[in-house]
Structure 1
Amino acid sequence: MLPTELLLFRVRAGLVEPRRLRPTTGNLGTADMLIQTFEAHIGKRRHELDEELRALEAGRQDFRVVRGLAHLLANRGTFEAGGHVEPGHVRARVFALAQDHVPSRRHTAHLLEQAARALSTDTPVSPAEVAAALYADLPDQQTLVALDAPTPLELIQLYDLSQAQGMLYRAYSLVITARRNEPSRYKQLLKYLKFFGLMVTVEGDADVGFTLTLDGPTSLFGSTTRYGLALAKFLPALLHVTKWDLSAAVKPRRDLAWVDPKDDEWSFQLTSEDGYVSHYPEPRDHDSALESGFVERFAKLDTGWVLEREVDLVPVPGGVILPDFRLVREGRSVLVEIVGYWRPEYLRKKFDLLRRSGRTDVIVCVSERLNLEKAGVDPSDFGDRVVWFKGVLNPRDVLAVADRVRPA
């Protein structure tokens, strides 16, 4: 992401709009020039790269764009202390030897020779290597050793997304409306919400859509942007969900002279049609071989039921349930939750949410290999809606229960 000072945006009638780069020949050329500059400096010190970048942006009106693109490239680079001796160890040795001597050019050369001999235990170390390693761990002295280089178009797309992410740094209210669409995306969405520590309230259903309301940083932590950074990191995950709208209330920046002092709130709006590209990996169709095996075996059956994958978000007080499958036939539908191989704390939370949901249309498939007793879990509450299985889950067993389950 980009630091605050590199965010470029405008405000129209209270609506904040982040800067976007069109993939024109000029912008692609600038991106390519920067990528080549970084690649040419692999094996060189950070300060040499920084000097080259300053020269490239000198005299350009779009120097902040150049600086932003370079910042994103630097985040994809690996900078390390050069050489095979640890700088902190070198400093400790040199400073210890230098304590009893008056600094001089002659003494410095002698000191480096002494330190080199002392450090040449397993591998020979030269005085020049000692001098190079002395401050090699400082940021500007580190060496660019590798670069995960994007294409020019990918760099521009990353820049656009980073500008949009920056709009969420100061968000204090965020609402996402996700309509029914590619079902497997919902599970990844919830996983990222949990991963980034975001608190969410879920309302709605699979047919109409789901509304996810998230609290922002200013409502919870005052002026800190810690939660805002989490919201920003979450945005690329949202891009994998199709057909959604995002609305955020943003605290205006008072450090900018052009900001209207009368503004007490800005609005930031995004939709799935805005064309942003995520750099997070695509979600998998299934979480495990257990689920994919179930789908394969179900496909071989001649049945009137249709199997849909990861369809319904089920709001529950204190959480949300995302069953693995939905079975549909002649207007009826039942949900299927597979509980395979998980830790005790996960099992306790899973069964507690299922119980509190009050849903009578959920078939709970439980592996006999789970130590439910150790986890303090008793699935008997679900009566004949429990399907036990050993190595694999037989679709016929699930369908036999589906035929007699009462819809919610």
Structure 2
Amino acid sequence: MLPTDLLMFKVKAGLVEPRRLKPAPSNLALVTALVSVFESHLQGKRFQLEEDFKALEVGRSDYRVVRGLAHLLSNDQAEFETGGTVEPAQVREQVFKLAQGQPPNRKRTQEVLAQAARALGVDSSEETLDLLYADLPDQQRLVRFDPPDPVSLLQRFDLAQAQGQLYRAYSLIITAHRNEPARYKQLLKYTKLFGLMVTVEGDADTGFTLTMDGPTSLFGGTTRYGLALAKFLPALLHVTKWDLSAALKPRKDLSWTDPADEEWSFQLTSEDGYVSHYPEPKEHDSALESGFTERFGKMKTEWTLEREVDLVPVPGGVIIPDFRLLHPDGRSVLVEIVGYWRPDYLRKKFDLLRKSGRTDVILAVSERLNLEKAGVNVADFGQRVIFFKGVLDPKVVLELAERLIEG
């Protein structure tokens, strides 16, 4: 992501619009120039690299574009390391010990460096001097650079500008419309990863509303929560149809903004063309699920099998069943495959299912699991439990689904 001072945006009637870069020849040429700077400085020091960046800024009113692209290249495509064979801290300790109590002058400095070189097994006093502060950021060396596709870097810049608007967000509302294929599980995984507080409402047919609230006060500290929201945004881009509305604390430190503004709004949709750099979610989470899907596809049935299209809100969490079986008349049954063995996972899984109060969920449980050892009792789920060995037979699942919609 980008630091706050490199964010570029405008505000119209309280609505924030981030800066975006088109793949125009001038922007592509700038990317090419920046890539060339990196490639010419392999094994060179960071401060030398940054000096060339500053040269590219000369005469440009959009110098923050140069700095923003360079920042992304440095963080995403490059690797810097402390050079030398001796740790800088060890070099400093030796040099300062030898120099202690001696009046500083050029001759004495050279003597100290030479003595330190011999003591440390370094080739020369010049190398000792180079190692002295080699661990400072501007003294680190560029040891790897992977040049990106120019268009993908411009897309990454655009997304970073959008992410940056969420740094000051204290509330985020996402409407995830009906999606095929569904990506809700990854969405919820990232909310948990970044510690976001989520309230879920809605259903699989009309879509879900996810509300993520940060600090309640408009004037309270929002940066930490806003940073988590910003990190979450690339995951949202994998959902195929959505709208986002964020409430932001206004920037009072900018002279061109309206000091009377009490709140800004940031709006995005899946049609805005942002591209995620997070990996695509896997089609299936396990061989059990992929095998069940494959076997179901070979059956002749009027039922339709859908992947993870339903979110089931429960106190203390959200359940995303593995499948939904949809009957032509509109009725549906959810299917949750429980094949993971860890006791704490099993206890939490069944506890959430129990709290949900849903009676339209079929539980397919592997006989290999030691439910008794995990302290799990499936009696509460009555006839909705199917035990299976090795593979899950879709015929057995459909028979139970038929009984559930008839009952």
Report the TM-score, using the length of structure 1 for normalisation: 0.94
Q: For residues 44 and 4 of structure 1, do their structure 2 counterparts lie closer, same or farther at Cα, with a shift above 3 Å needed?
A: same
Distance, in Å, in 2 between the alignment partners of 1:407 and 1:59 is 75
Q: For residues 183 and 381 of structure 1, do their structure 2 counterparts lie closer, same or farther at Cα, with a shift above 3 Å needed?
A: farther
Tell me the CA shift for residue 100 of structure 1.
4.6
**Secondary structure of 1:169's aligned partner:** helix
Residues 70-107 of structure 1: CA deviation (Å, up to 9, x unaligned): 11111122111112221112212222222253333333
Structure 1 contact 245–270 (Cα < 8 Å) conserved: yes
Distance, in Å, in 1 between the alignment partners of 2:362 and 2:30 is 56
Letter in 1 for 2:170: Y
Aligned runs of 1:229-244 on 2, under 5 Å? 229-244=227-242
Aligned runs of 1:143-182 on 2, under 5 Å? 143-182=141-180
- Partner residue in 2 for 1:52: 52
Asked if 1:263 is matched to 2:261, the reply is: yes
Identity %: 71
Q: For residues 284 and 308 of structure 1, do their structure 2 counterparts lie closer, same or farther at Cα, with a shift above 3 Å needed?
A: same
Q: For residues 37 and 183 of structure 1, do their structure 2 counterparts lie closer, same or farther at Cα, with a shift above 3 Å needed?
A: same
Structure 1 contact 78–145 (Cα < 8 Å) conserved: yes
Residues 330-382 of structure 1: CA deviation (Å, up to 9, x unaligned): 32321110111243322222111111111111111112232323332212211
- Partner residue in 1 for 2:355: 356
Tell me the CA shift for residue 224 of structure 1.
3.9
Q: Structure 2: where are the runs of 5+ without partners?
A: none
- Partner residue in 2 for 1:42: 42
Structure 1 contact 309–325 (Cα < 8 Å) conserved: yes
**Secondary structure of 2:11's aligned partner:** strand
Q: For residues 391 and 128 of structure 1, do their structure 2 counterparts lie closer, same or farther at Cα, with a shift above 3 Å needed?
A: farther
- Root-mean-square deviation (CA), in Å? 1.9
Structure 1 contact 333–407 (Cα < 8 Å) conserved: no
Q: For residues 317 and 24 of structure 1, do their structure 2 counterparts lie closer, same or farther at Cα, with a shift above 3 Å needed?
A: same
Distance, in Å, in 2 between the alignment partners of 1:36 and 1:343 is 51
- Partner residue in 2 for 1:379: 378
Structure 1 contact 364–385 (Cα < 8 Å) conserved: yes
Question: Which residue, out of 197, 204, 207, partners 1:206?
Answer: 204
Letter in 1 for 2:11: V
Tell me the CA shift for residue 289 of structure 1.
1.6
Asked if 1:274 is matched to 2:272, the reply is: yes
Letter in 2 for 1:13: A
Asked if 1:328 is matched to 2:326, the reply is: yes
Letter in 1 for 2:180: E
- Partner residue in 2 for 1:251: 249
Q: Structure 1: where are the runs of 5+ without partners?
A: none
- Partner residue in 2 for 1:135: 133
Distance, in Å, in 2 between the alignment partners of 1:343 and 1:52 is 54
Aligned residues: 405
Distance, in Å, in 2 between the alignment partners of 1:407 and 1:198 is 39
Distance, in Å, in 1 between the alignment partners of 2:16 and 2:406 is 46
- Which deviates the most, 268-277 or 96-105? 96-105
Aligned runs of 1:182-193 on 2, under 5 Å? 182-193=180-191
Tell me the CA shift for residue 290 of structure 1.
1.8
Tell me the CA shift for residue 128 of structure 1.
3.1
Distance, in Å, in 2 between the alignment partners of 1:144 and 1:371 is 52
Letter in 1 for 2:403: R
Distance, in Å, in 2 between the alignment partners of 1:336 and 1:142 is 54
**Secondary structure of 2:173's aligned partner:** strand
- Partner residue in 1 for 2:4: 4
Distance, in Å, in 2 between the alignment partners of 1:403 and 1:101 is 92
Distance, in Å, in 2 between the alignment partners of 1:216 and 1:393 is 42
Structure 2 contact 214–222 (Cα < 8 Å) conserved: no
Structure 1 contact 172–216 (Cα < 8 Å) conserved: yes
Structure 1 contact 184–283 (Cα < 8 Å) conserved: no
Structure 2 contact 169–247 (Cα < 8 Å) conserved: yes
Report the TM-score, using the length of structure 2 for normalisation: 0.94
Letter in 2 for 1:63: Y
Tell me the CA shift for residue 179 of structure 1.
0.5
